[in-house]
Structure 1
């Protein structure tokens, strides 16, 4: 088989039976970092996750707005387009806003309303019954306990039976098991220990160590070390991203996160990915910025890593019942 990525919109649906009966924690799955930032503009409101200095100087929005936008935007396309091009894991940061009861996605600035994005995801899943998504509610800002209850109720109202219940073991969670036996399509990670529901997957099920660096060599070593030490009974998120500090952005005032971080990293990221393998002992979820770069080459690379699983023997390749 030459490629598993010829139709990224249906790549999970069209996997060979052997891969659809492989635990998802052993598959290579592409994801996006700060998934909802494509809508950010210089006029976007400062969000509660912004650095203190940005919040303090928000009265200088006409001057700082363009700079903060360039260094906060990590994606160029919306989630609907990401789904159509193979992304199946989404990194989500949620906040409230004083002027409304709605929930918003944020990354230094306010992005889209949650309800609009979740509706796009639901419509995609309705039309693609053998695809799944992993929604990682990574951070929450200015949410009270009552806000969390409202947000969870909204999730249930949107996705209902599509939400996969948590289980003690993850080794049986294959695409066929999730979509055909459980009739589910959404794994919802909720990184808030105070909230507990049957369908809220805790952080421990999908560790996501943060490199927090602008050094490419440090990042790639960090990613490789993470895979060496990962717990292979649960999922694992490799964050293939560079993270600029406020000072770094200030010293590159007229550039952007894309030009100073994402583009220089791209060839090294591709080389690193080619050396990886999924399966027990290998890579699982990989996320990056600007997933659309070079016609979604990142998505194609990650999806095609699963071809390596077809090259292994049955003894090397445990398949779930």
Structure 2
């Protein structure tokens, strides 16, 4: 007997039951990716964070340690899309002394190898091949956008985004549903965490997270956020991700010789997924973001929330 194939979530939105097609997108449960480009971190780049290790950028061992504790995803953005992820946390950076004045990268501890425009073109191609899948791209942080170049860089990047995605962009004045997006042929939402003047771009989407490496603390803090009243017609992110401390306690983690962030995440994610299933029965969730989104049943767990009793018109 042939082995049973895993269910594909490449086009899961188009396969949702008809009664969910007119639900505001803010009320759907959407799998999201935290630090989406961290799989691409460049071991040869300078260290951006943590501050305590910046001065050690020239030392390969220091960069290796940073990368070991900064990688939160292990699949490309296209494979994350194929796996069913629909929200992407994209942290933008400009390299100092780059000869190209408008070339940008992503970052998390280190810079990525691949530039922003190349990745966004890949996302645009994927969106074109899956017109019924709605994507949310959240651009933030903008490291290295110094005052003398910030306006030029923001203008270049936002113009590139609007030109690239064009008619696919869902405007911020809309209250999107699956059906309304399908009818208009639009399937990309871009959230831009900085001042901009394009009607096609959305403002910052709140991202709630536990700011801890302890799963119980993460659960407790997320409960506090989720149980507060929130605007009825807006996106929000519930981040299941673990966060390294910013003080000297970070050394307790990054100096472990036989451990890394991926291993810690794999130990904690099953518990966090059980928690989000229980929590979603009590309070609404919208975008749920995580590390290692292609592993341990993360995507199917979040998608399944859409067919539970919590989703109401």
TM above 0.5: yes
CA displacement 1:105-161 (0-9 Å, x = unmatched)? 111111121122111111111111111100001211112111111111111221111
Structure 2 residue 126 is matched with structure 1 residue 113: no
CA contact (8 A) 1:277 1:283 kept: yes
Cα 1:230–1:30 change in 2 (3 A) is farther
CA distance, structure 2, for counterparts of residue 57 and residue 161 of structure 1: 46
Report the equivalent of 1:38: 39
Question: 8 Å contact 2:238–2:288 — kept in the other structure?
Answer: yes
Question: Does the alignment pair 1:145 with 2:146?
Answer: no
Gaps in structure 2 of 5+ consecutive residues: 1-5
Partner of 1:238: 238
Is the contact made by 1:223 and 1:238 (CA closer than 8 Å) also made in structure 2?
A: yes
Question: Runs of 5+ in structure 1 lacking a partner?
Answer: none
Matched, 1:9 2:7: no
Q: CA deviation at 1:278?
A: 7.5
Distance 2:142 2:251 in 1: 25
* Structure 2 CA distance for aligned equivalents of residues 138 and 99 of structure 1: 20
Closer, same or farther in 2 for the Cα pair 1:47/1:78, shift >3 Å? same
C-alpha displacement at 1:248, in angstroms?
A: 3.6
Contact 1:237–1:286, Cα closer than 8 Å, also in 2: yes
1:266 partner SS = helix
In 1, the alpha carbon distance for the partners of 2:305 and 2:99 equals 44
Deviation at 1:223, TM superposition (A): 1.4
Match for 1:266 among 269, 272, 285?
Answer: 269
Does 1:252 pair with 2:260?
no
Instruction: Report the CA distance shift for 1:9/1:57 in structure 2 as closer, same or farther (over 3 A).
Output: same
How many residue pairs match? The answer is 295
Q: Note the C-alpha offset of 1:251.
A: 4.2
Per-residue deviation, residues 6-52 of structure 1 (Å, max 9, x unmatched): 430000111111112111111000001000111225x330254x122
- What is the RMSD computed on CA atoms of the aligned residues? 2.0
Alignment correspondent of 1:166: 172
1:86 deviates by: 0.2
CA contact (8 A) 1:67 1:253 kept: no
